[in-house]
A = this chain, B = another copy of it.
Amino acid sequence: MLTERQLLILQVIIDDFIETAHPVGSRAISKNGNVPYSAATIRNEMADLEDMGFLEKTHSSSGRIPSEKGYRYYVDHLIAPITLKKDVNIIKNIIQDGFFEFEQVVQMSAEVLSKLTNYTSIILGPELYETKLKQIQLITLSDHTAVAILVTNTGHVEHRSFSIPPDIKPSDLEKMVNILNERLNGVPIVRLPEMFRTEIAALMKRYINDFEKSYDYLKAVFFNENPVKLYIGGKSNILMQPEFNDVDKIRSFYSMMEREDEIANLLKGSESGIKVTIGHENEVEAIKDFSLITASYHLGEGQMGTIALLGPTRMEYRKVISLLKGLSNEMTDALYLWYKNNE
């Protein structure tokens, strides 16, 4: 168990290191003002803290830096939550504007978030459990090209252009779209592929000649697996961090950022609430030098998406956690309103 004094010293060291990125020496702590002990006393405590694994040295006579265990303790016990009314309000205003569709809001939030923190923000995007199909439109551009448009109740629009196969009659196309609209209105997006395979296939078989020919085609046009949407903001913020003065590190960071699927997996598992993953606690090799803080937003019980910030282990945990808490609440509220309005 740590003594009061040890807690104080640990806190001062971590705060200082987070700010300056330089190892913290006993003299500096003693002069800090909040610690009324001499450098020698502090040295003894620091040695103890190091024995317990909360601190590390970069070399035998350097100042101390926090270990991952140190950060973990700091995050779990030493962070007094602060309110960031101003910062949260910036995002609140974007969300509540009501003028944008939800995806734009998410995108903008990601950007603001990264600007406010100087880290890289990642937002996984509302998942579609509660999103329902509103309407399907088919607009023909010419005799043999058309664009299909899907609109959901959240205002999300998906579209795809395609060539009309020569063996499909325009009247058949129209019929199909009518069937789709009649049957699929209000169906959750996630259930569409299944519905399409069973019910729609049966109906089309009945009403449309030669339906097999167009079935596969139609399926590809309307119900392509829609991948999870990932919004990343401030990729280049990482360059401003002094620990990334190494070109190789930068390279590996960017090459990881390009594997979006892996990042999505990273965030997907995260349960409800705020979760802080520090350094090697991350399972993905590429971000073992980073900390990842995730928060999820909801609609009712179901989880909708995840907001995350990726930065060096030397992260402003206090600020980031407060900010993410605020943002996740705002997004949860906004979602609630959206669906209430669009029911």
Residues on A close to B: CB < 8 A?
Answer: 98-101, 134-135, 137, 139, 141-145, 147, 149, 151, 153-155, 157, 159-163, 235-236, 239-240, 244-247, 250-251, 254-255, 257-258, 341-343
Contact = CB atoms under 8 A, between A and B. Distances in A.
Given A247-B244, A255-B236, A147 B157 contact: yes
A69 B257 CA distance: 38
Contacts of A101: 147, 159-161
Contact of A342 (B98, B100, B142): B142
A135 B145 contact: no
A343 B142 contact: yes
Contacts of A143: 341
A192 to B, nearest CB: 17
A235 B141 CA distance: 34
B145 A139 contact: no
Nearest to A249: B247
Given A99-B163, A101-B161, A161-B155, A145 B342 contact: yes
A129 B147 CA distance: 21
Contact of A139 (B134, B160, B236): B134
14 contacts: A98-B163, A134-B141, A137-B137, A137-B139, A137-B149, A141-B154, A141-B155, A142-B341, A149-B157, A155-B161, A157-B157, A239-B247, A239-B251, A250-B250
